[in-house]
Amino acid sequence: MITLALATQCSGCTACKAVCPKQAISMVADHEGFLRPQIDAEKCVQCHACERACPVLHPGEPDATPTCYAARTKDDTLRMMSSSGGIFTECARPVLAKGGVVFGCVWEKPALVAIHAKAETEDELAAMRGSKYVQSDLRDTYREAKAELQKGRDVLFSGTPCQIAGLKRYLGKDYPNLLAVEIICHGVPSPAVFEKYKQELVKRFGASPVSIAFRNKSYSWRRFSLVSTYADASENREDLYTDPYVKAFLRDFCLRPSCYDCQAKGGRSRADITIADFWGIEKVCPELDDDRGTSAVLLHSEKGHQTWETLHGVECKIVSFDDVLMGNPSYIRSVTQPKNRALFMRRFRKVRKLDTLVRRCQNGPWVIWMARRCLSKAKRIVKKVLGL
């Protein structure tokens, strides 16, 4: 097996694997836990289909003039089960009602691994709600989606911009029965770091969690919390300021290398609709803000506009593109790689607690952190000796 030459900036979208006519490519986890393409040299026929399908090598044109809305579902129960305004479900339900299929991210149980899967019922759709702050394994969903499209079924495929860009490059042409829905993506954390986090939960609580919700709104939509639930119905709740995994994610220590220079942002993925949390809604449309979740919706295509006009269970207000960008700069801009990112990824498997490593990395270079720690300990010893 050899690593694909273009894999250094690979987004993990699997377009190369899906398009390979000889099935010579497999996705293998690297030393940081990210899936990357590897080629079986004996099967490869040098057709270069993988390179032609790669969205990193062939980025699309940006869309700087999408039609934008602030929106939320009228179903308050659905909204509380969703990460923001419940718009993904509102878009997906009509597809299922017409006998179509929806592809999205779910937890594969019992291990709680993020994967893409197919939904044909409302119950299966429910598993796709809620953010999963870890890169999902797309498995063979590109090929499955193509097969359904060729049968004439309506298909909604949801994912990150790079996943949508990969799907579009793999398909090679537009399908009128495909609705592509992307999220505004901050970046995708390493599955290996998430495994480390789950191992810590087992040590703390003596059991593996049976479910994890990253965007629980019990505190509020803005101060969201991560809730891990166990077989005995007990729960552990941490908010975005205290949970070590969320802190590592929001401080950009564990993101995929390609996320620091994403080639699919700004509408380059050719998605029909982009959805996100409408951060800053209290300044733009306070009448749509009750701290239970409001979505930003960006429409890019005629198909996206037509879909939006058919959604009658949504209350919305048109807003400017600048209003959306004010709270969601990640639509057009990649995050900056932190100085201690390499240190975090080199040591996360070795430390006893992720939280300790996060604090070390955010407090500056390792040598400085150690010097500060030694100085602090020296001060405590001196005070103890002097009886202060």
**Res. 370: pLDDT tops 60:** no
Say yes or no to pLDDT of 248 above 50.
Answer: yes
The model's confidence at residue 380, banded by pLDDT at 50, 70 and 90, is: confident
Q: Where are the beta strands (DSSP E) in the chain?
A: 2-3, 25-29, 35-39, 67-73, 101-108, 113-119, 155-159, 178-183, 211-216, 225-229, 235-239, 273-277, 295-299, 314-319
Looking up tokens 């298909």, which residue turns up? 155
Is the confidence at residue 8, as pLDDT, over 70?
no
Higher confidence at residue 227 or residue 388? 227
DSSP line for 279-317? TTHHHH-GGG-SSS--EEEEE-SHHHHHHHHT--SEEEE
At 385 the pLDDT is: 73
- 327 vs 21, 129, 143, 260, 277, CA distance in Å? 43, 22, 35, 19, 9
Asked if 370 and 359 touch (Cβ cutoff 8 Å), the reply is no
Gap between the Cα atoms of 337 and 344, Å rounded: 12
Mean pLDDT of the chain: 93
As a whole number of angstroms, the distance between CA 269 and CA 55 comes to: 8
Q: What is the pTM of this model?
A: 0.92
pLDDT over threshold 60, residue 368:
no
Euclidean distance between CA atoms 339 and 343, whole angstroms: 8
pLDDT above 70 covers a percentage of the chain that reads 94
Kindly tell me if the per-residue pLDDT of 111 is higher than 50.
yes
Section 176-195 average pLDDT: 98
Q: Residues 33-83: pLDDT tens digits?
A: 999 999 999 999 999 999 999 999 999 999 999 999 999 999 999 999 999
Domains plus CATH for the chain? 2-53 (3.30.70.20), 67-189+254-331 (3.40.640), 351-388 (no CATH)
As beta bridge partners, residue 102 has 119, 156
Please give the share of the chain, as a percent, with pLDDT higher than 90.
88
**Overall average pLDDT of the 88-116 stretch:** 98
Q: Which pLDDT score is estimated for 381? A: 76
* Residue pLDDT, tens place only, 309-323: 999 999 999 999 999
pLDDT over 80 (residue 187): yes
Of residues 5 and 187, which shows the higher confidence score? 187
Taking the C-alpha atoms of residue 238 and residue 228, their distance in angstroms, rounded to an integer, is 9
The residues near 373 (Cβ < 8 Å, ≥ 6 apart) are: none
356 vs 6, which has greater pLDDT? 356
pLDDT tens-place string over residues 320-338: 999 999 999 999 999 999 9
Q: How confident is the model at residue 372 (pLDDT cuts 50, 70, 90)?
A: low
- Once rounded to an integer, what is the mean pLDDT over residues 164-169? 98
- pLDDT computed for residue 5 by the predictor: 43
pLDDT over 70 at 4, yes or no:
no
